[in-house]
Amino acid sequence: MPVMVSAPGSDGRPLGTYAQWQASRSSVPTCELADLVRRAVGSEPVRTERILQGYSNEVYRIRTADAHDVVVRILRFDDDVSTAAAAAEAATIDSARAAGVPAPEILLLDTVEVDGEQFPVMVQRTVAGDPLDAVIDRLSHRHRHDLLVEIGTVIARMNAIVVAGDRDWVTAMTAARAGRVGQRDKIITAGFSARDVDEMFELLDAYIRDFPCGHWILSHGDLSLKHIFVTVDADAALPRVSGIIDFGDWLPGAPVHDLAVFRVREPQLELEPLLRGYGRSADPLFRRRLDLHTVLIALGSLAFGVDEGDRRGVARTTDQLRTVIADLTGGS
């Protein structure tokens, strides 16, 4: 069974250093992959493709003899590679599916041995369509608008699920704020003054004080265009959301967490249609809450960009932060 190693995505870009490191590691033997697929769908693999994308999993896309398309994800490279972590992700996916979120169907959850060590493995049915980052530039403004409304609706379904958390609001958010304080020098390196940084921390203090969260909701944790799949109707050419993938970073989050993460990951997208689909476009308090949480997420993204030497990403996030802060403070 030949294994074809592909670059991240499908645009031919060179592998990054992390993907190269993944590729250099011992991989799951093809006989083990074949056994997993047979147990999941009762059919023999005929084509296997290694997907070097993401940080936590060794991933394969596999086609079987009777045209099943599955994804095999081995949890090998995360800080937590326990069976409990994999089971929690699987339970999250099942909860999302039950709420009407088009998350992948899980066909098998087990473990597999690599170099004498057991790792969790999940076999999922491949979601239909293509990742949105591969097609969004080809969509008309109207289709993009309508798709963002639908994405907002899907996020709202997921965020309607109440989950338990280990910490209360003040404890969790105070820890998050402390993490950003620890990144102060990197934020200044990105181009903000010490006074700017102090102002942002004051905004986070106001967020913790003014918007207490009585319960946590299910948050995907890493929403971006590459994790949202879409299909196009053959007759009307209307794009529709067909899948939300990669729940490995799920968490008990604030009601605006996923929206804030998506906003920071994809600052080029319009926010209003997303909020319309979410059902909160005319709620100024919700918008302020979202803006404040966006500051929290963007500061973390900014520090990461400085660490990675991502000048374009740093510039993009810096511009976004300045815009959001101006909205929050009335431009003062």
Q: What is the pLDDT of residue 13?
A: 38
**Does 3-125 match 130-329 in CATH topology?**
no
- Interatomic CA distance for residues 145 and 164, integer angstroms: 34
Separation of alpha carbons 8 and 296, rounded Å: 28
CATH class assigned to 130-329: alpha beta
CB-CB contact of 194 with 229 (8 Å): no
Averaged pLDDT for residues 209-236: 91
pLDDT at 7 over 60: no
- What's the whole-number mean pLDDT along residues 220-247? 90
Mean pLDDT of all residues in the chain? Answer: 91
CA distances from 15 to 19, 26, 50 (A): 6, 17, 13
pLDDT, residue 24, reads: 62
Contact assessment for residue 154 and residue 276, using Cβ atoms and an 8 Å cutoff: no
Q: Please tell me which residue, 25 or 38, carries the higher pLDDT value.
A: 38
SS3 88: helix
Q: Is the pLDDT of residue 8 over 90?
A: no
Residues facing 226 on adjacent strands: none
pLDDT at 190 over 70: yes
What pLDDT does 52 receive?
84
Task: Identify any residues that bridge with 49 across adjacent strands, giving them in sequence order.
Answer: 4, 61
Residue 5 has what pLDDT? 31
Mean pLDDT for 40-48 is 96
What is the pLDDT, as a whole number, of residue 282?
87
pLDDT in the model for residue 20: 62
Residues 6+ apart with CB under 8 A from 200: 180, 187, 192, 295, 299, 321, 325
Given a contact cutoff of 8 angstroms between Cβ atoms, the answer to whether 263 and 300 are in contact is no
Q: Which amino acid is at 241?
A: V
Whether residue 124 contacts residue 108, with contact meaning beta carbons closer than 8 Å, is answered with no
Query: What per-residue confidence (pLDDT) applies to 238?
Result: 82
Give me the mean pLDDT over the 250-278 stretch. 97
Give the per-residue pLDDT at 26. 62
Backbone angles phi, psi at 109, to 5 degrees: -130, 120
Q: Which of 52-61, 219-228, 301-310 has the lowest mean pLDDT?
A: 52-61
54 falls in which pLDDT band (50, 70, 90)?
Answer: confident
**Stated pTM of the model:** 0.90
CATH of the domain spanning 3-125, picked from 3.20.20.10, 3.40.50.11900, 3.30.200.20, 3.30.420.40: 3.30.200.20
pLDDT digit string, tens, across residues 117-176: 999 999 999 999 999 999 999 999 999 999 999 999 999 999 999 999 999 999 999 999
Q: How far apart are CA 321 and CA 281, in angstroms?
A: 21
Domain boundaries, the chain: 3-125, 130-329
DSSP letters, 150-213, are HHHHHHHHHHT-EE--SS-HHHHHHHHHHHHHTTHHHHHHTT--HHHHHHHHHHHHHHHHHS--
| Per-residue pLDDT, 2 | 31
14-28 pLDDT per residue, tens: 445 555 666 666 688
Compute the average pLDDT of residues 99-114: 97
pLDDT of residue 67: 94
Q: How many helices (H) and strands (E) does the chain have?
A: 12, 12
**Given a cut of 60, is residue 260 above it in pLDDT?**
yes
